[in-house]
Amino acid sequence: MVQSRAENVDAYLAEVPEGRREALTRLRELCRTELRGFTEAMAYGMPVYERGGVGEIAFASQKQYVSFYLMRDEVREAFAERLADHDMGKACLRFRTPEKIDFALLKDLLRATAAAPGKVG
């Protein structure tokens, strides 16, 4: 998917290829459930979850994979062992197909993000 120009997450999800829409809708609901006090927005053409105006979590349907962005260094470090078996860039966790999305891991990452105080880094 080319970078979206959707104005909100509903419109974004409507643009997502049908084969990924269900998984991304599930991911959105997980974010909304676990990230209490966060604001859902669109930034850089993807859904982002902000606290205090700072993006901490985002996800996107890319051409070759579904990406999950985890901005908090301390959360990535705390989960390094569980993340080691996944395709992970500096802050981007990539899933080649919707069926490979590890929702249990994502739920734990979201909970740790929500519990983490202070500046994102």
pLDDT tens, residue by residue, 40-67: 999 999 999 999 999 999 999 999 999 9
Domain encompassing residue 46: 9-114
Is the distance from CB of 109 to CB of 119 less than 8 angstroms? Answer: no
Closest CA to 107 of 75, 77, 61: 75
- Look at residue 1 and tell me whether its pLDDT is greater than 60: no
**Over pLDDT 90: what percentage of the chain?**
92
- Look at residue 38 and tell me whether its pLDDT is greater than 90: yes
Does the residue 55 lie in any domain? yes
pLDDT of residue 3: 76
Q: Three-state SS across 22-52?
A: HHHHHHHHHHHHHCCCCEEEEECCEEEEEEC
CA 95 – CA 66 distance, rounded (Å): 5
CATH code, domain with 78: 3.90.1150.200
CA 108 – CA 86 distance, rounded (Å): 15
Mean pLDDT value across the chain: 94
Does the residue 119 lie in any domain? no
- Look at residue 95 and tell me whether its pLDDT is greater than 70: yes
